Structure formats: C-alpha cells, structure tokens
Amino acid sequence: MRIAVWQAQGPDAGAVRLADAAARAAAAGADVVVTPELFATGYGRPFGPPDPGLVARWQEIAAACRIAVVASEPHEGHITAVVVRDDGTVAGRYRKTHLWAEDERAAFSPGDGTPLIVELAGLRCGVVVCYDVEFPEVVRGLALAGAQVLLVPTALDDEAVARILVPARAMENRVAVAYANHVGPGFCGASVIAGPDGRELARAGTATEELLVADVTAEDLARARGLGDYLADRRPETYRP
C-alpha cells in the first residue's frame, strides 16, 4: 500500500484544493490520501457548519483520481471521518470518540467507540480522529481486531504528540500510522507516516503545506512483528485494574 498524507491549511470549501492534492497523490502512485480533521469546513470555534454536498464531492474526486480518500466532516452532531474507496463508493464513517477540550465538547457529541476497519489495497485499515490516537486502548483495540494500518485525520498544536506518541502507537501495536495535520496559525504541522517498527517513513515540517507519500507492505508488518510481537506476547490475565 502506498499512503499519501496531505498536510494543508484550511478550510477548503467545496473540496477544490483536495481535488488537486488527490490528483497529485494518485500521480505519485498512492492508494489512499488522508486529510486533516474537519479540513473542508474548518477546524476551530466557531466550527464551520455541515456541508451536505461534501461526501458526494469526495466521491467524485476519489472516482476521478482512482484513489481512496479519508476526509473529516461534522455530521449529525459528531466529528466524523469518512472513507471513500477509489471507485467512489463510501466504505464507512467513524465518529470521533474522545473530544478535545471545551471547544469541541460544546459543539459536538462523542461517538460511542464503534470501530471502523476497511480493506484498502490489500491491507486492513482502521480509522480514528485526532485525540483518539492518544489513548492506548483505542489503538490496541483496533490492532487486536485486525487493523494493520491506522489512518488519522487530526488538528494538532502539540508537536510532541506527532513526534513521540504517534510513532510509539505504531511500534507498540505493530501497525503503520498515517497522521494528517493542519498547518498555519494554531497548528503545529509535523504530519507523519510511521511504520510498524515505529520508525518515520515520512515527516512534514511545521510551517508549510506538504504531501507525504510512503509505502507500507505486508512484509513490513511481518518484519516488525519479528522484532517483537507485542500483541502475541501480551499476558492480559496478569493486568489488574
């Protein structure tokens, strides 16, 4: 699987700029492009209103470019992430479970934790949004459910999360993590694609828009497990509250 992460400054009404980014990602051979949290409508209070035409537009872009798209929007009172396959069909929608700070909690309701795992380019991909990835239980649960890659739209201002915690989540679960952040005032950039051994496959800077591209294969996943299979070696019967 070739993954593209688009670090960009929003909003992007009508997904005009996403169409260009998706075309560039497809030209680079990517199977999927991951975009930042609430990128099209705008992240930050006051949050942009829902756009009932967004998903249809994402479907058009995915089908035209023959690339899967992971994009985030407000939907029915939740922050969500939608996966659109490269034929334009919707594979699923995830509702953000852990809301960040009072701005989000005042504007949205949390999801119930129902996971989303879809197969893209032969690998099983789990989807979460931003703050969710900072909870070990969330990523571990997806890994135990068979996810091999995590696709994460985010809106982040703490570079330590992107540089320390995200690679750690990848390593401790032997999954690849594609983490797409905003750039610009209030955001730290530093988007990353981390391999299942925790090493950075691609990393964006903190001040500019960038399109990251990196490959993750089944062989990479197996090789990482060979370095130490944390999932297989767990002893849950010994973990007490």
Q: What angle do CA 55, 57, 58 make, to 5 degrees?
A: 65
CA torsion, ordered 45, 51, 57, 61, to nearest 10 deg: 10
Residue with token string 């688009």: 6
Q: In the annotation, is 60 catalytic?
A: no
Q: In the annotation, is 37 catalytic?
A: yes
Could you give the CA distance from residue 190 to residue 34 in angstroms, rounded to a whole number?
14
The pair of three-digit structure tokens given for residue 92, joined into one six-digit string = 């699923």
Among residues 65, 73, 104, 130, the one annotated as catalytic is 130
Could you give the CA distance from residue 210 to residue 190 in angstroms, rounded to a whole number?
10
Among residues 65, 73, 96, 188, the one annotated as catalytic is 96
Q: In the annotation, is 200 catalytic?
A: no
Long-range contacts of 46-49 (CB under 8 A, 24+ apart): 46/107, 47/74, 47/103, 47/107, 47/108, 48/11, 48/74, 49/74
Strand order in the sheet with 90-95: 90-95, 78-84, 68-75, 32-34, 2-7, 210-215
| Pairing between β-strand 200-203 and β-strand 210-215 as defined by DSSP bridges | unpaired
The H helix count followed by the E strand count for the chain is 8, 12
Residues recognised as catalytic: 37, 96, 130
